[in-house]
Amino acid sequence: MRNTDSTPSKLYQPGIFEPIPPVARYVLFNLSDAGVDPAAIKEALTRLTPLVDGSDVVVGIGPSLVKALGASIANLHEFPDLSRGEVKVPSTPGVLWCWLRGSDLGDLLHVTRKVQKALAPAFKVRHVVDGFRHSWKDDRGGHDLTGFEDGTENPKGEAAEAAAFARGLGEGLDGSSYVAVQQWVHDLDAFEALEDDARDHHIGRRLADNEEIEDAPATAHVKRTAQESFEPEAFVLRRSMPWMMSMQAGLMFVAFGKSHQAFEQQMRRMAGHDDGIVDAMFKISKPVSGAYFWCPPMREGRLDLRRLGLGVS
């Protein structure tokens, strides 16, 4: 029976709403260098869909892939380069993004291989990053590698659903989500060189108890990104996780929204586009990638790709 319930909670990829897993893989795909026609792309996506439950495997579709299929998704566009002077916020568009979620990296390797084989030869792997939880506490969530709690200001319950998922756009769009993905590289030497008070004022919270500092400077990250301070309000659902590779480390920043607007409002202010004040975060970390994706809704337990011309019934 066709599902006619347009409530986003019945339609979204559930992994978006679930707590972050113990470990994860972020796998970015490009189209084959040889060029691929729409029929081959659709065949590859058809092979992929049985592997995507929306929980252990969350999928995002890039704007260029939508275009290659001759389709159109409301409110989807490429990540803009928001660099400003010495502050770099690069745009590194992607074609297809998979967020693999689990508790064992070995298992995620095998899932990656299954996804890779399903998508070949139309798609090829461009980049893989492994993420993990750090200092996880069931009642308070996880921490960034700086030690600060991550996602403190995340909306909860119905407010989180309202922030993260589209509604009122029609079948095949309601329950979908628009995700911003950035890989941030931390300068841990610079962070560790700061005095305790300076660390706290960079973030705008006390590391000791996570309490917000009322008289923190205007450059404090918490003040730059206070979601209720924007017009319109800029609430997103963060699902970020730390990553490390050799001696480099940082945060895979992942923010889901009902559109890309809220994330873009926050990022523009962080870079100083609004008032010339740059977020102190840029003194201890920098983004090296930035891409937008559209996460399709689910339909009867499978990805609903009807807006891309697949699986229409």
Can you give the residue ranges of every domain in the chain? 11-308
Residue 173's alpha-carbon distances to 55, 126, 197, 237, in angstroms, are 18, 27, 46, 18
Closest alpha carbon to 292 in 131, 67, 96: 96
Q: Residue 234 carries which DSSP code? A: -
Q: Give the model confidence (pLDDT) of 47-57 as tens digits.
A: 999 999 999 99
Model confidence band, residue 33 (pLDDT cutoffs 50, 70, 90): confident
Sign of the four-CA dihedral 119, 122, 125, 131: negative
Percent pLDDT > 90 in the chain is 90
Please write the tens of the pLDDT for every residue from 290-306: 999 999 999 999 999 99
Q: pLDDT of 174-224, one tens digit each? A: 999 999 999 999 999 999 999 999 999 999 999 999 999 999 999 999 999
Q: Phi and psi at residue 289, in whole multiples of 5°?
A: -150, 165
Q: Identify the pLDDT of residue 8.
A: 55
CA torsion sign, 165 to 166 to 170 to 173?
negative
**How far, in Å, CA of 251 to CA of 232, rounded?**
27
The span from the CA of 150 to the CA of 148, in Å, is 6
Q: In degrees, to the nearest 5, what angle opens at C-alpha 45 toward C-alphas 63 and 26?
A: 65
pTM over 0.75: yes
pLDDT at 6: 47
Q: Show the tokens assigned to 82.
A: 């928001």
Count of Cβ atoms closer than 10 Å to residue 185 Cβ: 16
* 23 membership: H or E segment, kind and range: strand 23-31
pLDDT at 9: 53
List, for residues 59-96, the tens digit of each pLDDT value: 999 999 999 999 999 999 999 999 999 999 999 999 99
pLDDT in tens, 131-172: 999 998 876 778 999 999 998 889 999 999 999 999 999 999
Mean local confidence (pLDDT), 273-287: 97
What is residue 311's predicted lDDT score, i.e. its pLDDT?
Answer: 74
Distance CA 5, CA 293 (A): 24
Predicted confidence band of residue 36 (pLDDT cuts 50, 70, 90): confident
Residue 28 amino acid letter: L
| Cα(297)–Cα(160) distance, integer angstroms | 16
> How confident is the model at residue 234, as a pLDDT?
95
Tell me how crowded residue 281 is: count the other CB atoms within 10 A of its CB. Answer: 21
